[in-house]
Structure 1
């Protein structure tokens, strides 16, 4: 259905990994660790959302974004 560039798929997979690390934080996590993870998550969000791939899929972008998310989770 969609053929995603490797770097876009990798960035989405990393996004889920970082999000999971933030969600699984323990009380022993430091504020600096949390800040670093949040910054990384923000950078990945920008990387995914502004990827040139989306310019070619403007009309189908919502469906393509959902497909990317599903593929990255699997």
Structure 2
């Protein structure tokens, strides 16, 4: 059982952030501006989420959870 459960919407938002970050970090992304805007929207959503706001440990735990689910390194 997971010691730090997160709601599905929060997990999905972090997963989308990670996917967008990786797409933007790729050489010559196809839609640089659209990816940057999407990353900004997702970043704001994560930053101001009341479950994470001013809780660095919860942010780190969420990123670790996404790393565990995806099996990849965390970009941020």
Q: Same fold (TM over 0.5)?
A: yes
Q: Which runs of 4+ in 1 moved over 2 A?
A: none
TM-score, scaled to structure 1:
0.77
Q: Which of the pair is proportionally richer in helix?
A: 1
Structure number with the bigger relative contact order (C-alpha 8 A, sep ≥ 6) is 1
Say what the alpha-carbon RMSD is for the aligned residues.
1.7
Q: Where does the alignment leave 5 or more consecutive residues of structure 1 unmatched?
A: none
Q: Deviations over 1:5-49 (max 9, x none)?
A: 11111100110100000111337x3xxx10000000000001111
Contact (CA 8 Å) 1:5, 1:53: kept in 2 or not? no
Residue 19 (structure 1) aligns with: 21
Structure with the greater alpha carbon radius of gyration: 1
Alignment of 1:32-51 (within 5 A): 33-51=31-49
9, 12, 16: which one aligns with 1:10: 12
TM-score, length basis structure 2: 0.75
